[in-house]
Chain A
Amino acid sequence: MMEVYLDNGATTKVDPRAVDVMISFMLKDYGNPSSVHSLGQNAEEHLEKARETIALKVNAKRDEIIFTSGGTESDNLAIRGVAHKKGSGHIITSKIEHPAVLNTCKRLENEGFSVTYLGVDKEGFIDIKELEDAITDKTILISIMHVNNEIGVIQDLESIGRIAKEKGVIFHSDTVQSFTKVPIDVEKMNLSMASFASHKIHGPKGVGALYIKKGIGIDKLLYGGHQEKDLRPGTQNMPAIMGFAKAAELMTDDDLARMQKLRDRLAEGILDEVKDCFLNGSKDKRSVNNVNISFRYIEGESILLHLDMHGISVSTGSACSSQSLRPSHVLTALGLKAEEAHGSVRFTLSRFTTEAEIDHTIEAVRSVIPDLRKMSPLKKGMEDMKWDEVDHDHA
């Protein structure tokens, strides 16, 4: 059976070229970059080269990049770092952020900070005017993600950055999903901070980076040695950092163009042929690798498992497959009804996705969806359904 991995929004396969680099930093160049001898200094040189590689990708300077353990740590360090430095104040973010941002902000609310969670329109965009109006003289930070991990919508960071600059507010963006896939220019976007994660770009897990513009003061989360500009103590994870930098170099414009073509082939192949389904998010301002479709009258976990039987890996925003039994907070923020979020499926492509894999997926979706609908009472029963209370606490 053909194996088709379309869950690259969750994580990606490590590029073999990145693996080769990693191995050599375990077996050969295994020095500690803080050591003074040659083995250490050799590691230090490579570390700075890796920093430069990441910086160049987003038009930053080498000494504005610090390495972390991944997207979650970068988001925490950025947001908590500013909050704790300032001591009190107001933060603006959106309702569709990744939990790494949302739960950090919720925690800060408990610590006495106030937070505005901006809503989004039906395609997933925040309202720039609403953002501007939300800024007060207490506002210490704006944190708005670039590409949303569920629906792939691309926020207009340039406009947000312009406002942040005018008002003199620090601007952070979770750019974990956009890095290498959607252009990021920290100068043009006036970004003060941006979070990156290696495992979304065919690098290893457990490593990431935070861009911090020179002059932005933040508090650190961890205490220890003076590594990473004294902001992130601990011996650098050299093999992972080198694999991350290698992976960042490998994405080409051709890859992006091919992914976009396959993305559209997949979306059209499903939307044109399968009844009662619709695309979530924006058609145009959308990451090159994301297709998110809601299928009415059926449930996402069942779709996911049936596709899995066809060798296809996807994810869903269905309440049934979440720990909380609530539908995805992103789809809910778009205004989708619970039953519309229920049948949502996310397909996320990678540089390695082939046309044959996409065609296999289209074919599988076209057979799985009608099969599951035969099992569903909803199509005809939606109107007369009575939503009796069922006592779940006794389940």
Chain B
Amino acid sequence: MMAMYSEKVMEHFKHPHNMGEMEDADAVGKKGNPACGDVMYVYLKIKDNVIVDIRFQTMGCAAAIATSSMITDLAKGKTLDEALKITKSDVAAELGGLPPLKMHCSNLAADALLDAIKNYREKKKAGAA
């Protein structure tokens, strides 16, 4: 099982970055994975359209946890538009690849981030109106 994951995946799985709930988040993104039943939450703290802090909570396999951790690293400090450009293949590549059967886990992270940004923009629009 260990051998099927890259060292990088195992590193993020063992010591995930930016893990945990954020009480005062400006936006929350949630995504469920119907294939295997996993769930990810992404919490964003946003200032002047820049992601100044990001946290995640994930219930899933090692690949799901590692991709969650990696996407928070990739998104932190980026503008919302830049963050939207992060793809699941970027995340998988940064992790040194994922086993083919586990590629779908990286959807979870990218989609949850997308959901969070969408929710933030909708909230802002509603607030402005």
* Chain B residues touching A, majority SS: mixed
Task: Pick from A195-203, A351-359, A375-383 the stretch touching chain B.
Answer: A375-383
Closest chain A residue, CB of each to CB of B100:
A395
Tell me the smallest distance from the CB of A88 to a CB of chain B, in Å. Answer: 39
* Residue pair B59, A376 in contact (C-beta under 8 Å): yes
Task: Pick from A22-30, A251-259, A318-326 the stretch touching chain B.
Answer: A318-326
Instruction: Known A320-B38, A375-B65, A387-B32; judge A305-B59 contact (CB<8 A).
Output: no
A350-395 interface with B by 8 A CB criterion: 374-378, 381, 384-392, 395
Instruction: Known A308-B1, A320-B61; judge A388-B41 contact (CB<8 A).
Output: no
In angstroms, Cα B18 to Cα A345, docked, is 27
Tell me the smallest distance from the CB of A351 to a CB of chain B, in Å. Answer: 25
- A390: which B residues are within 8 A, CB to CB? 31-35, 104, 107-108, 111
- Please tell me which one of the listed residues B21, B40, B60, B88 contacts residue A320 in the complex, with CB atoms under 8 A apart: B60
Q: Is A298 in the interface zone, CB < 8 Å from B?
A: yes
Closest chain A residue, CB of each to CB of B104:
A395
Q: Is B37 in the interface zone, CB < 8 Å from A?
A: yes
- A301: which B residues are within 8 A, CB to CB? 1, 61-62
* Residue pair B111, A319 in contact (C-beta under 8 Å): no
- B120: which A residues are within 8 A, CB to CB? none
In angstroms, Cα B62 to Cα A387, docked, is 20
Tell me the smallest distance from the CB of A104 to a CB of chain B, in Å. Answer: 25
* Residue pair A338, B37 in contact (C-beta under 8 Å): yes
* Residue pair A381, B30 in contact (C-beta under 8 Å): yes
Q: Is B84 in the interface zone, CB < 8 Å from A?
A: no
* Residue pair A305, B104 in contact (C-beta under 8 Å): no
Q: List the interface of chain A (C-beta within 8 A of B).
A: 297-299, 301-302, 304-305, 308-309, 318-321, 323, 325, 327, 338-339, 342, 374-378, 381, 384-392, 395
Sample (19) of A-B pairs whose CB atoms are under 8 Å apart: A302-B60, A302-B61, A318-B36, A320-B38, A320-B60, A325-B35, A325-B104, A339-B37, A342-B36, A377-B30, A378-B39, A381-B39, A385-B39, A386-B30, A388-B34, A390-B31, A392-B104, A395-B106, A395-B107
